[in-house]
Amino acid sequence: MKLHTYFRSSASYRVRIALQLKGLPYESVPVHLVRGDQKAPAYAAHVGDALVPSLITDEGQWLTQSMAIIEYLDETHAQTPLLPSNALDRARVRALAQMVACEIHPLNNLRVLKYLVRQMGVSDEAKNNWYVHWVRSGLEAVERQLTLLDGERGAAGLPASQFCWGDTPTLAECCLIPQIYNAQRFNVNLDGLPRVMGVVERCNGLAAFQQAHPSACPDAE
């Protein structure tokens, strides 16, 4: 497999985590978003939205969108499942992942921040305030949801989760950890998020997350 990736892309980071958790070998193909490599005809001809990540499967098929790629990997490689076996629990994990991927990340990706500055004339200070507001409010929502889920587990006689749901990383962690990495880059206040940061600490101690980290990428600057 070949993964087209940019080291600081949250969406690419998600897929790198999934590949590492599953122990799947892949070739990393850097696509430098700041330089606009994603717009090059050789790449854009295969990717309708000209974004990263994209994955070329072993069969030569091109896949796009990080969440779809991760679920494809989970369906085709049974080792280290990233979604629970129970349908209700799968819905819970998907919801946590989407709180990051659909509610937080779209407001703060590179395209949006550039548009705020270049087309709308927003100052760098205002742009950063925008970022901090939406990331912090989104993570607070994730914290509340994790707390609610812990209550559900307790009511069902289940032990407290060590990760977002259960005792192993899931699709939710694939999304959460990259978002925290970017939040720290932009100096978002992460105090008062004990469940979120507890998950982050446990993930950061695992080799798969360390190997997927932007600093470990061949195109890291």
b/e for 158-167, b at 16 or more Cβ within 10 A? eeebebbbbe
Do residues 169 and 194 both lie within one domain?
A: yes
For 45-94, write each residue's pLDDT tens digit: 999 999 999 999 999 999 999 999 999 999 999 999 999 999 999 999 99
Domain span at 95: 87-206
Rounded Cα distance between 176 and 117, Å, is 26
pLDDT for the residue numbered 220: 74
Do residues 95 and 190 both lie within one domain?
A: yes
For 82-102, write each residue's pLDDT tens digit: 999 999 999 999 999 999 999
**Could you tell me if residue 14 is inside a domain?**
yes
Do residues 116 and 146 both lie within one domain?
A: yes
Do residues 178 and 106 both lie within one domain?
A: yes
Instruction: Name residue 62's beta-bridge partners.
Output: 56
Rounded Cα distance between 139 and 126, Å, is 20
Q: What's the predicted TM-score (pTM) here?
A: 0.96
Do residues 93 and 202 both lie within one domain?
A: yes
**Could you tell me if residue 30 is inside a domain?**
yes
For 106-118, write each residue's pLDDT tens digit: 999 889 999 999 9
